[in-house]
Structure 1
């Protein structure tokens, strides 16, 4: 005659193991967040380096069995670079006209038609590279 033992883990204990402050799910999301932020800094378009320097990671949030974290670039123009811009008109803010040095000399205008810019989704690509290595599926969010 054999012996049999049943082990039961209640749902509250399981939830604490998975999503508690040092739970497996929280640690995995934190690793994915760190990997995404590192990749984001490497992949950010660079002109002056300011955009690259504004990457931040938020805290880890646990709601039920859902664990979330975010990485963001806080530069005021980050969304326009990431998502692209539509054609728009540029007007001066503090002066009566815009002025710049063109190939034939000084150019002055009251407004300029900007053709828009293509999207450069470096942060999405960073998440796919960084978190993707850890088994996460990354889709565009909002």
Structure 2
């Protein structure tokens, strides 16, 4: 599941539609800066899945930032409390306080939303 954010350069870029010029370089710098912030703000190793590029959109050049991590949507939106059951085994195995624990089900408390892409957009202005 891929998540993407688009940066639009504004009216001047829509009017000029310059590829390879000053506007594209400026948009690329800004897009790269926001993507770097998103990599740092992302939890765990999710930052390794953040990438960016410039493309021609319907209204001119756009900077696009994507996160291709399979759990990106769950991190951005959060999850409700839910039950986790084993799919290919009889029990789940995990470690608690250095000891190994087996369980047929786990009641996950859910996770709070962590919209690191929105935070990166706000910080990268």
Same fold, TM-score > 0.5, yes or no: yes
CA separation of 1:120 and 1:110: change in aligned 2, threshold 3 A: same
Alignment root-mean-square deviation, CA: 2.6
Indicate the residue corresponding to 2:18 in structure 1: 20
Please list every run of at least 4 consecutive aligned residues from structure 1 whose deviation after the TM superposition is greater than 6 angstroms: 14-17
Higher relative contact order (CA 8 A, sep 6+): 2
Q: Report the TM-score when normalising by structure 2.
A: 0.73
Mapping 1:123-138, distance limit 5 Å: 123-130=117-124, 132=125
Q: Report the TM-score when normalising by structure 1.
A: 0.66
Unmatched 5+ stretches in structure 1:
1-13, 133-142
CA separation of 1:104 and 1:24: change in aligned 2, threshold 3 A: closer
Q: CA–CA distance in 2 between the matches of 1:32 and 1:58?
A: 11
CA separation of 1:106 and 1:44: change in aligned 2, threshold 3 A: closer
Q: Larger % of strand: which?
A: 2
Question: Contact conserved, 1:26 with 1:60, CA < 8 A, in 2?
Answer: no
Following superposition, the deviation at residue 16 of structure 1 comes to 8.6
Indicate the residue corresponding to 2:51 in structure 1: 56
Following superposition, the deviation at residue 25 of structure 1 comes to 4.3
CA separation of 1:57 and 1:104: change in aligned 2, threshold 3 A: closer
* Larger Rg computed on CA atoms: 1
Q: CA–CA distance in 1 between the matches of 2:94 and 2:38?
A: 33
- Between the two proteins, the alignment pairs up a number of residues equal to 114
